[in-house]
Structure 1
C-alpha cells in the first residue's frame, strides 16, 4: 500500500521521517536530488530531481520511500514537480514523460521543439512561472523581500500543490495565466529557428555559439542546446553574453561533462581588448549559471541574471563578433587541454582544475 504523503516546510525536516527533494538536509529519510554530492541512491539518479522522484515511484521498496512527509528548501519547476509527483504517484506516472520534459525545461531551459509533448510542457512551465510571479515573488526574489527562501517557498508549495493536477490534465484551464509568456516564447522560437539565427557547436569544449539579432527568452535561446554546457550569444550591435549552463552545477546522470572554469581570466583578457569604456565582469563558478557580460552602471541581482536575457540591458562591445568567438573558444580549449569529461565532479575537483 502506498503511503499518503504530505508536504512539510523545510525547517520541519527532522520532526518526522522526511523525503528531501531537490535539496540536501541532515536527517532526511531519503534524498532525491540532482545536486552535486547529494545522497540520492544510485538506481534513482537522474538528470533532474523530478526524474529521481519519478524513478523512485517505480521502485516502491526503496528504503526511506515509506516516509510520508516530503519537503524542499526552495521552489522551482523541477523541485515542485518532484514533490508533486511523490504526493500524487498514480497521476504522476500516467504523465511521466510530460513531467520529465517540464522539469528539464524548467531547470535547464532545454526542449526539443519537434517533440510532440513540447508545446504542453511549455504551457505548464509558463503557467507555473506566471502564477508564481503574480501571487508570490520571482525566482531568487526572497532576499530582496528580506525573507529566507526555505521558509517563504512553503507558501508557494501550499498554493500550487492542490492546483497543479487540473492544469496538468487540462492545460487550457490555465490559459489565462500561461498564454502571454507562451506566445512570447513561441515568437522567439520562430526567430531562433529562422534564417537570421545561426548556431555553431564546438563539442570538444561543450560550447554552442548562437548568432541572432537580439536577446531571446531562455526557453528559445537554450531550447536546442541539449548536450552542450556553454552558450555564447552574439547579438546585433556587438552585444554579447557567455553563460555556463546549470547542467554543470548539478550531477547529470545521462552524460559526462567537463568541469566549470573560472571566468575571471577570460574577463581580464577581454578587458585588455575592450575600448568601449565598459568593463567585462563574470560570476564565480559556484553560481548556478555564471554569466560573463559587459557591466552596466548597476550590478545585476541574482534574480535579474536568472531572468530572461531579453529583460536585461546588454551593452555594445568594441570587440568584433568573430574575435569574441575566437577568444572564448581559445580560453575554453586552453582550460580543458588536459581534462577529460566525466560524471559526478566534486566541487573540490572543479576548483582543482583552476576554477
Structure 2
C-alpha cells in the first residue's frame, strides 16, 4: 500500500507511523527518551530504527500515513524511507550515515558510505536554508516548527530520490560546504590538533588552532558525549552532544548534569569582561561559553565557524583543571547506563 506524509497535527485523527517524534496514535519509530520502539529495532538514530523495522517488516508498518513533528536530517531520512522502503533498503548504508552525520555530527570517512552521505547532507543543508529557513529558525518567523516544517517535507520528499541516485548532478548545491568539511577534517586529523580523552566522564578535549565545521570537529568524538573545544587565544566551548538528549543503543551513557554551576565557577576566575553562560540540561545541545551577547538557538546550532568565540583570561591548563574535577565529583557513584529518563536527569540539576 502506497503511503502518504501527513502533517503531525493530523496524527490525532489518523493512525500513522510516527518518526523521530512521540505520539500515542501510531507506531513510534524514534530514539527520543521515553519512546517504546518495537522489539529488535533499536538503533542510535531514528532513521536507523526505521531501517531496522523495514528490514524486519514489523507489524504496524501497514498504516497508510507517516509523519514527524520537526524537520531534520535524521527525521527526514526516516520519513523518506517509510515512503520508499525498497529504495531505502537498497541505499541503507548511505542513509544510516546521513542520519549519524546529521544528528550527531559524527563524520567517519573511513566508512565507505560516508563520503556520499556527506554530500547528501551538505546538499540538504544548503537547500533547506535557501528555500526555507535554517534549523531552529522557525521562531524567527513567529511560526511553530510542527507546522512550518510541513513545506520542507513536501519539497524534499519529492526531490530527494533523484539526488540520492545522482548526487553529482547537484554538485553546485553541496560542493562548498562539502569541501570545507574535508579541509577541516584534515586539520582535525593531523598533529596540529591534539585530542585528550577522559573516558570516566565521557569527555573529549580537542585543541586545534581555529574553529572548524562541526562534522570535522565531532569526527574525533565518536564514543564520547561532551566536547571541550580549545582554540588559539584562549577561546573555549564545552558542549553536550545530542547523544545525551536521545536514547542511543550502541553504548551506555552518563546522565547530563547542569553546566550553569560550572559557568559560575569559571566566571569567578574570568577577567575579560565577558560572561560565562550555559543552557539547561533539557536543551538539545547546551553550550558552556563566553558570551558577548546571548545566542539564539539557530546560532548555537550553527557551526563554530559561524559564531563569535571570545578570548578568555583563563589559561588553557586552568580550564581543564576546573572542568574535569567538576564532572568527576558529580558523576561520583554514578554508572553509565541506557535509557535514562528525563525525571532522572532533571534530578541531577537540583
Identify the residue that residue 340 of structure 2 maps to in structure 1. Answer: 345
Aligned with 1:8 (options 2, 6, 9): 6
Residue 323 of structure 1, CA deviation: 1.0
Identify the residue that residue 22 of structure 1 maps to in structure 2. Answer: 20
SS of aligned partner of 1:44: coil
Identify the residue that residue 219 of structure 1 maps to in structure 2. Answer: 215
Identify the residue that residue 99 of structure 1 maps to in structure 2. Answer: 95
SS of aligned partner of 2:21: coil
Identify the residue that residue 201 of structure 2 maps to in structure 1. Answer: 205
Identify the residue that residue 300 of structure 2 maps to in structure 1. Answer: 305
Identify the residue that residue 33 of structure 1 maps to in structure 2. Answer: 30
Aligned with 2:160 (options 160, 164, 169): 164
- Deviation digits for residues 252-272 of structure 1, max 9, x if unmatched? 111100000101110111011
SS of aligned partner of 2:219: coil
The alignment status of 1:333 with 2:331, answered yes or no, reads no
The alignment status of 1:317 with 2:315, answered yes or no, reads no
Residue 95 of structure 1, CA deviation: 0.8
Q: Which runs of 5+ in 2 are unaligned?
A: none
Identify the residue that residue 271 of structure 1 maps to in structure 2. Answer: 267
Aligned with 2:233 (options 237, 240, 262): 237
When residues 164 and 332 of structure 1 are mapped into structure 2, their CA distance, relative to the original with a 3 A threshold, is same
Residue 54 of structure 1, CA deviation: 0.3
| CA distance in structure 1 between the partners assigned to 2:270 and 2:58 by the alignment | 59
Q: How many residues align?
A: 350
SS of aligned partner of 1:163: helix
Residue 26 of structure 1, CA deviation: 3.0
- Deviation digits for residues 309-335 of structure 1, max 9, x if unmatched? 110000000110111112111111111
Q: Which runs of 5+ in 1 are unaligned?
A: none
- Deviation digits for residues 47-81 of structure 1, max 9, x if unmatched? 1000111011022242x211110000010000000
The alignment status of 1:54 with 2:43, answered yes or no, reads no
SS of aligned partner of 1:200: strand
TM-score normalised by the chain length of structure 2:
0.98
Query: Cα RMSD over matched residues?
Result: 1.0
| CA distance in structure 2 between the partners assigned to 1:49 and 1:164 by the alignment | 18
Residue 45 of structure 1, CA deviation: 2.0
TM-score normalised by the chain length of structure 1:
0.97
Write out aligned runs for 1:167-182 (5 A).
167-182=163-178
| CA distance in structure 1 between the partners assigned to 2:74 and 2:194 by the alignment | 30
Residue 279 of structure 1, CA deviation: 1.1
| CA distance in structure 2 between the partners assigned to 1:41 and 1:272 by the alignment | 49
- Deviation digits for residues 137-171 of structure 1, max 9, x if unmatched? 00000011011111110100110012111111121
Residue 39 of structure 1, CA deviation: 2.4
Runs of 4+ in structure 1 off by over 4 angstroms are none
